[in-house]
Amino acid sequence: MARRVILRVAALAAGLAAACLLARAAQAAGIGAFDMRPDGHGGQTYTVPVQLLLIMTGLVFVPAILLTMTAFTRIIIVLSLLRQALGLTQTPPNQVLIGLALFLTMFVMGPVFTKIGSDSLQPLLNNQISAFDAAERAEAPLRAFMIKQTRREDLGLFLKLAGGQTYPSVEDVPFRVLVPAFVTSELKTGFQIGFMIFLPFLVIDIVVAAVMMSLGMMLLSPISVSLPLKLALFVLVNGWTLVIGSLAEGFVH
């Protein structure tokens, strides 16, 4: 799987390099469809075909950005552990869990995405700033979000692994250090929440197994008895609202 991803990225990178070479050759030949002009900010602007190719190449990295720089990692881990704690293997199905995690991520990241749109995307579409400036402006809200959710010990670990270089403030830490520290913190937080979710259902499993052993009901599977009890408890306490609300509040506070 990893080899396929590497091959796809390499192929897209090669295509992008070939397109840039083709654009320069077309510019020298006087073909307007691949014309490149100064953008007034020290860079160059490309015509629509090249811009579309650049956008399609950038879309390859969207899943990686979604998984490593947003709330998606923690949310999908908690939802998956919740399904396992209930003793359900395919209900809700993976498509439902991923869809719920995506929309909950969009809800949690709404202020960040709004700020990126107003400070970065809109000025770029209005030709007020260059693509490089837009990327720098988009980095600031994401950086602030990740710093808020990253544990200092995790950040210190990756700073040590990166060579022990010190920075004036947390805002100056490069993305190559901040992103893995953020993902590590999200994994730890997700498993901590999952452990707390597992506890009440584990107690039900233990009680049911003990009662059935004492009654001598050896032929009846404890899972067939504990599963309805766990579902009833989860529904009675309005479990989905509690879990989803706690996840959302965890990113706000």
The string of pLDDT tens digits covering residues 49-74 is 555 666 666 667 777 777 788 889 89
The pLDDT, as a whole number, for residue 178 is 87
pLDDT-wise least confident of 165-174, 198-207, 212-221: 212-221
Instruction: Give, as one character, the DSSP assignment of residue 184.
Output: H
pLDDT of residue 3 exceeding 60, the answer is no
Burial of residue 226 (CB within 10 Å: 0-12, 13-18, 19+) is buried
Task: Place 40 in a pLDDT band, splitting at 50, 70 and 90.
Answer: low
- Give the model's confidence band at 188: pLDDT under 50 very low, under 70 low, under 90 confident, else very high: very high
Q: If you average pLDDT over residues 127-133, what whole number do you get?
A: 76
Q: What whole-number percentage of the chain has pLDDT above 90?
A: 5
User: Mean of the pLDDT values across residues 225-234?
Assistant: 85
pTM for this entry:
0.71
CB atoms within 10 A of CB 144: 13
> How large is the average pLDDT for residues 100-116?
88
Q: What is the pLDDT of residue 78?
A: 92
- Counting Cα atoms < 13 Å in the Cβ hemisphere of 34 gives 16
Cis peptide before 200 (omega within 30 of 0): no
- Cα atoms in the 13 Å half-sphere on the side-chain side of 48: 1
CA angle in degrees (0–180, nearest 5) for 73-80-77: 20
- Return d(Cα 171, Cα 178) in angstroms, integer: 10
**pLDDT value at 165 more than 70:** yes
pLDDT of residue 12: 47
Cβ neighbour number for residue 108 with a 10 Å cutoff = 22
Q: What local confidence, expressed as pLDDT, does residue 170 receive?
A: 80
Residue bearing the bigger pLDDT, 54 or 75: 75
Mean pLDDT, rounded, for 109-116: 86
The whole-chain average pLDDT of the chain stands at 76
Nearest alpha carbon to residue 159 among 141, 172, 142, 140: 172
pLDDT class for 32, splitting at 50, 70, 90? very low
